[in-house]
Structure 1
Amino acid sequence: MFCLELVIPPLPQLLTIGHSFWTPGQQHVARSFNVYDMLFVLKGTLYMTEDDVPYEIKEGTMLVLEPNRMHIGHRPCEEITEIYWIHFAHPAPVRTMDSGQISWSIPFTKGTVDDLTPHRQVMYLPKFTNIRATDILPFLQQMLELHHTLSPASSLPLQTLLAGLFVELQTAVSSQFAPRSRLLCDQTIAYLQQHLTRPFDAKHMEQTLHFHFDYLARCLKKYTGMSPLQYLHNLQIKKAKTLLESTEHSVSEIGQQVGIENTNYFIRLFRKQAGMTPGQYRSVRFGRV
């Protein structure tokens, strides 16, 4: 399944939302405008073409029409068709990607207190996919109600609901349509995060996740480029940096808090990943000793 990659922040901004029942014979007009048009069909079928690519948006299906592309109903509805539509503003997508190729778990660059602009991040929106009405209908109904009574008090909740809808759609993409290797990569990462301070134990990982360690390691490396031990060390050093920045704990104490009991080994590992010792990192960041 293909997804649109959108740069955030800022988040997409809701323009309007609507709900209607199209009768047999109704057909969408030809149009091209500089906004996204997201269509959810709950009953019936809507026939749409975008830049000569035809879509049959059947019951339980959604389609995202992209800005500045020509879309038109290429065939009238043949039965009563219930639809919700959302128009939202945002820059054009960076690219279209297969959901199985998205690196869901590779971390973005960590922000610092010196940042003056937000780091580039991305979100993913399915282009054309099945939906579970029970998951998305509460968002659509609440958004429609707030939009009909729009006021300063309801504006922020309305935009927040749009973000929540995007989270729901992205979660469905990452969990339902990802290949097994992607899911096992995410499970391996979750295991390493949960057992950050536990001595690395390949056998325990196998027993917990119910897959051979070598297979789990291949899945993780495929999407992150790291072995389980390398990924664990990466997590430990990231946490150590946070503790160095936010506490007065000694280097030895911080090493223990991230699961590395041997202080000398912790210092060597930190230097290898950060290019400096923990003490130097703290001194550079905050002038501490």
Structure 2
Amino acid sequence: MICLELTIPPLPQLVTIGHAVWPPGIKHLSRVFDVYDMLFVNNGVLYMTEDNKSYEITEGNMLVLEPGKHHIGHQASSEATEIYWVHFVHDAPVRTLDSASIPWSFPYAKGTDLDLAPHRQTMYLPKFADFNGPDLLPVLNRMLELHHRATASGSLLLQAELASLLVKLQEAAQRRYAPRSRKLCDLAIAYLQRHATDPFSADHMEKALHYRFDYIARCLKLYTGKSPLQFKHGLQISEARSLLANADLSVAEVGERVGIDNVNYFIRLFRKETGITPGQYRSSRQGRA
């Protein structure tokens, strides 16, 4: 399934939400505007074209129309069609990609009290997919109610409901369309995160995940570009960077905290991962508010 990759923060911001039952013979209007338009068809069918690509949105389907692209209803529906629409603003997608290639469990850098801005992250939104009515319709209806009331007390909650809707759509893309290799990669990442400070053991990893180690390693390499040991080292050095910046520990103590008892090996590995020594990294962080 194709997904849109959006940079966060900031989160998408709601503009409006609507609901209607269109009688037979109605077509969506033709326009180009600078908002995202999410369409959810609960009953009936909606025919849409976006930049010369046509979609037939039937019962239980959703489509995201992108800002700056021309869309038009290319055919009238022959039956009554119940539709929800959600407009929100956000920057254009970074790219489109298949959900099977998304690195769902790849760890992001952790923010610290020395950071002055949030780290760049991403979210993923299905372009054209099925949706689970019992899961999404209550959220859409709560959004409609809050939108119709339009009070100061409800405005923040309305934006939070949009975030909840986007989370549910992303979870569906992750859960329903990931191949076995993607799922095993995520399991391997979770295992390495749990055992980041333990001695590395291929045998233990095999027994914990119930797959041969060479297959686990291939799946992890496919989606992260790293072997299990390389990925584990990345986790250790990420935690070491946080400790060096925020904890009053010696370099040797930091290495021990992240599971590397040999201080010389820790220094070599830190330099390999970051390009500088632990001492140089700590010095670079000193004096920052």
TM-score (norm 1): 0.91
> What amino acid is the match of 2:45?
T
| Partner residue in 2 for 1:98 | 98
| Partner residue in 2 for 1:266 | 266
| Partner residue in 2 for 1:57 | 57
| Partner residue in 2 for 1:220 | 220
Distance 1:185 1:176 in 2: 15
Q: Does 1:156 align with 2:156?
A: yes
| Partner residue in 2 for 1:190 | 190
User: 1:33-92: CA deviations, max 9, x gaps?
Assistant: 221110011222222222222211111110011123222222222333221110111222
| Aligned positions, number | 288
Aligned-pair CA distance for 1:251: 2.8
Aligned-pair CA distance for 1:239: 0.7
Distance 1:117 1:68 in 2: 29
User: 1:158-207: CA deviations, max 9, x gaps?
Assistant: 11111121122112212321222222111110110011122111111111
Distance 1:277 1:67, change over 3 A: closer
User: 1:82-109: CA deviations, max 9, x gaps?
Assistant: 2111011122223222222333344455
User: 1:212-267: CA deviations, max 9, x gaps?
Assistant: 11011011111111110111011011111111222113333322221223333323
Distance 1:35 1:270 in 2: 44
| Partner residue in 1 for 2:23 | 23
Q: Does 1:4 align with 2:23?
A: no
> What amino acid is the match of 2:66?
E
Distance 1:70 1:56 in 2: 16
> What amino acid is the match of 2:98?
D
Distance 2:252 2:118 in 1: 33
Structure 1: unaligned runs, 5 residues or longer? none
Distance 2:124 2:267 in 1: 38
- Residues 41, 57 of structure 1: 8 Å contact kept: yes
Distance 1:132 1:83 in 2: 14
| Partner residue in 2 for 1:88 | 88
Distance 2:187 2:180 in 1: 10
> What amino acid is the match of 1:250?
S
Structure 2: unaligned runs, 5 residues or longer? none
Alignment of 1:40-189 (within 5 A): 40-108=40-108, 116-189=116-189
Distance 1:271 1:93, change over 3 A: closer
Q: CA RMSD in A?
A: 2.2
